[in-house]
Amino acid sequence: MNKLLMLPGPTIVPPDVLLAMAKPVIGHRSKEFSEIFEDTVEKLKKVFITENDTFIITGSGTAVMDMALANILKPKDKVLTIITGNFGERFANIVNSYKGEAIKLEYEWGDMANPEDVKEILEKEKDIKAVTVVHNETSTGARNPIKEIGEIVKDYDALYIVDTISSLGGDYVNVDKFNIDICVTGSQKCLAAPPGLAGITVSEKAWEVINKNDDKVGFYLDLKAYKKYFDEKKQNPYTPAVNLIYALNKALDLVLEEGIENRVKRHEKLAKATRAGLEEMGIELFAKEEARSVTVTSAKYPEGVNDKLREIMNKKYNIVLAGGQKHLSGKIFRIGHMGICGEKEILATLSCLELALKELNFEVQGSGVEKAKEIFKE
């Protein structure tokens, strides 16, 4: 169990949060639970920076991605899905799963969307129900300009749906300022809570669509049921993962104590040090420079190096890195620097990477760890 998780989720969970989870279960229909639950939702709203209705559901990030679309779609509805990686693609798959029509705006993996392209499509196709975008594309280590896209979408009828699963609490997200109608996140990434909970915000504009949607199907992910129970009782309609709520509440305390701005700056610095360290060693970064994520860094395996690198990192050095997804499998590796990750974790990771790369006969150019130290000294 003594593994250092440098994954783009789940991330290291602080002991205080793990122990909060181990408290006895209480009834989910009790006043005590309503108080804890409401408090957790209020804290999450502060992190989303929103006045919109916010719900916490038991499920993965995919559950709230599904929920975002399930509640607004009718068959044949058009959704503009911005795709820069695996999770952007997932939104399109969800649209199709409800027999909607996904209009795919695709970019090369590792790149980011151009807001002007979004505008062009919204001008051309007048009946687009929603635009989906993944803020931080975990699969590629690239991020999308969600603020700028929001500036465009707000002038159309389309709802603006943003996945901040691997960015909220690590990169700058402001639901209200960015005009996000439905924003979704997960507990196990930058928030540094255990996996199993997911958050979703719903704007007035989104409620108008949801309330008019008589063609909605499904039960567990029905937003109206969540709203009814929360408004009336500060509870969920179906039994929530009580202990995970304890944990998320504590994890959100830690986020708010640090302050969102400080937290984003910390993530930016970790990203900068990681990127500089890798490049110093002679490793090429994968994501395009202007698109690079501050919560996950992706890098290409140099010639002669493959997933064996991750195996050495894991087995010999107990540091867990992620590989590539889909067509990038075996071609890139990904380092998550999210949540409570700090200088020592980055320096340990870069140091061990140097050892592991040498073991694989890759000639490490400069000292990545020294480069990173310089950045941390700034």
Chain residues binding its own copies by CB under 8 A are 1, 3, 5, 7, 9-13, 18-19, 21-30, 58-63, 65-67, 70, 93-94, 97-99, 186, 188, 194-197, 216-222, 237-244, 320, 322
Give all strands of the β-sheet with 296-300 in edge-to-edge order. Answer: 296-300, 332-336, 322-323
Least spacing, CB of residue 162 vs its own copies, in Å = 18
> How many CA atoms lie less than 13 Å away from 80 in the CB half-sphere?
25
Least spacing, CB of residue 195 vs its own copies, in Å = 5
Least spacing, CB of residue 27 vs its own copies, in Å = 5
Is the CB of 69 or the CB of 369 nearer to its own copies? 69
- For 41-181, strand residue ranges (E) read 53-58, 78-83, 101-106, 128-134, 136-137, 142-143, 159-163
Is the CB of 118 or the CB of 353 nearer to its own copies? 353
Least spacing, CB of residue 192 vs its own copies, in Å = 10
Least spacing, CB of residue 302 vs its own copies, in Å = 23
Is the CB of 239 or the CB of 365 nearer to its own copies? 239
Is the CB of 122 or the CB of 221 nearer to its own copies? 221
Least spacing, CB of residue 340 vs its own copies, in Å = 12
Q: With the CA atoms of 254, 258, 261 and 264 taken in that order, what torsion angle do they form, in degrees rounded to the nearest 10?
A: -70
Least spacing, CB of residue 321 vs its own copies, in Å = 10
Element (H, E) at 334: strand 332-336
Least spacing, CB of residue 237 vs its own copies, in Å = 8
Strands 322-323 and 332-336, how do they pair? antiparallel
Least spacing, CB of residue 174 vs its own copies, in Å = 25
Q: Among residues 145, 142, 129, 41, which one has the least CA distance to residue 91?
A: 129
Is the CB of 179 or the CB of 249 nearer to its own copies? 249
The torsion region of residue 304 among left (phi > 0), alpha (psi -120 to 50) and beta comes to: left
Is the CB of 59 or the CB of 277 nearer to its own copies? 59
Q: What angle do CA 276, 6, 183 make, to 5 degrees?
A: 95
Is the CB of 34 or the CB of 114 nearer to its own copies? 34
Is the CB of 46 or the CB of 76 nearer to its own copies? 76
Answer yes or no: are the C-beta atoms of 226 and 55 closer than 8 Å.
yes
Distance between CA atoms of residues 250 and 253, nearest Å? 5
The torsion region of residue 30 among left (phi > 0), alpha (psi -120 to 50) and beta comes to: beta
Distance between CA atoms of residues 47 and 73, nearest Å? 27
Is the CB of 29 or the CB of 46 nearer to its own copies? 29
Q: Residue 77 to residues 44, 100, 163, 200, 209: CA-CA distances in angstroms?
A: 31, 5, 20, 21, 12
> How many CA atoms lie less than 13 Å away from 225 in the CB half-sphere?
14
Helix, strand, coil share (%) of the chain residues, nearest 5: 45, 20, 40
